[in-house]
């Protein structure tokens, strides 16, 4: 890259895979975050004033005040992740700041994790591991921790995008599950036909007729608490709720009440309202599996995400069309 490009300054809010950081350092003057701790709003605002590009993660909130900071220098925010509900997109457009994300590359890993959660909850694997580690296991017995199999069960998908379709493929072809899905419109890609998936335009009906419900919708105001107390009440008492999407899609208090009261059988969560905080009431429950936002956490996927960030930065500084522009 040219000598001019080598002087371009890039701020990175969290540690990235080693190869990604190395390539960034070769091409740009990069400031990394060796402590790998969250940065505050003041730090992000300062970065917008002092750097040509700012690379953030899905836990860095970028509001209007940060985007409209005086003396702003940065022209692009490159997000490491798909969701951009933590960025005020309208304010970015007003300020003329480009925003990019990293779509596509985390589909397979997140679908794998959705199935992991289904299996862990249905087979009570979390309960079993806690029992064994605590020294409470007394040996095999015929009625010990009996769970449910997935074969022949109905998986209801809320949303039918890339990750939902990949999850459905694993569930249908790998475990013999029946597939139903709720979305704004019926699938026209051919994926639903291949999976023999049933379109359900009514969310309550999907919840009532599914053994396992898996959430695959974006975050934001339109989907906040989409799964509230009323929706959870529509689920079967034997139902399982899985969330690898965004934490605020579920009303946590309503979910805790339903799990504690036995109104649904269990839940598997990888994302949380207000994360990294996790409600103590959730942690205290046995019938919920809790993972620390591992959806895309494979070496291959996180590196590919970093490469998408790098590709967007390279395109921006060369004056080319951005591969993954969202604003």
Would residue 144 show up in a list of annotated catalytic residues for this protein? no
Span between the terminal Cα atoms of the chain, in Å: 26
The region, left, alpha or beta by phi > 0 then psi within -120 to 50, assigned to residue 10 is: beta
Instruction: Give me the catalytic one of 50, 108, 275, 281.
Output: 275
State residue 80 phi and psi, 5-degree precision: -90, 90
Would residue 50 show up in a list of annotated catalytic residues for this protein? no
Residues 27, 5: contact at Cβ < 8 Å? yes
Would residue 275 show up in a list of annotated catalytic residues for this protein? yes
Instruction: Give me the catalytic one of 72, 234, 293, 325.
Output: 293
What's the rounded Cα separation, in Å, for the pair 89 and 97? 9
Instruction: Give me the catalytic one of 246, 273, 302, 308.
Output: 246
Residues catalogued as catalytic: 246, 275, 293
């Amino acid at each position: 890259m040219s000598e001019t490009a080598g002087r371009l300054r890039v701020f990175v809010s969290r540690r990235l895979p080693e190869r990604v950081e190395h390539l960034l350092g070769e091409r740009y003057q990069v400031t990394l975050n060796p402590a790998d701790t969250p940065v505050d709003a003041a730090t992000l605002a300062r970065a917008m004033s002092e750097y040509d590009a700012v690379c953030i993660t899905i836990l860095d909130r970028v509001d209007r005040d940060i985007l409209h900071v005086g003396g702003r220098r940065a022209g692009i925010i490159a997000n490491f992740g798909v969701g951009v509900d933590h960025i005020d997109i309208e304010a970015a457009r007003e300020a003329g700041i480009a925003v990019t994300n990293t779509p596509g590359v985390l589909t397979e890993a997140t679908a794998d994790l959705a199935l992991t959660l289904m299996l862990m909850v249905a087979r009570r694997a979390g309960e079993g591991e806690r029992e064994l580690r605590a020294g409470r296991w007394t040996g095999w017995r015929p009625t010990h921790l009996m769970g449910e199999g997935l074969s022949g069960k109905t998986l209801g998908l809320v949303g039918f995008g890339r990750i939902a379709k990949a999850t459905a493929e694993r569930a249908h072809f790998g475990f013999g599950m029946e597939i139903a899905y709720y979305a704004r419109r019926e699938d026209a890609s051919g994926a639903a036909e291949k999976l023999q998936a049933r379109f359900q335009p009514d969310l309550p009906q999907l919840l009532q007729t599914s053994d396992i419900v898996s959430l695959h919708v974006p975050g934001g105001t339109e989907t906040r608490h989409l799964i509230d107390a009323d929706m959870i009440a529509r689920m079967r008492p034997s139902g399982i709720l899985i969330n690898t999407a965004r934490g605020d899609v579920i009303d946590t208090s309503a979910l805790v009440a339903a799990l504690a009261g036995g109104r649904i059988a269990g839940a598997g969560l990888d994302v949380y309202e207000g994360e990294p905080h996790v409600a103590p009431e959730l942690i205290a429950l046995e019938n919920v599996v809790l993972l620390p936002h591992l959806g895309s956490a494979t070496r291959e996927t996180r590196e590919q995400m970093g490469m998408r960030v790098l590709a967007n930065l390279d395109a921006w500084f060369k004056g080319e069309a951005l591969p993954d522009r969202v604003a």
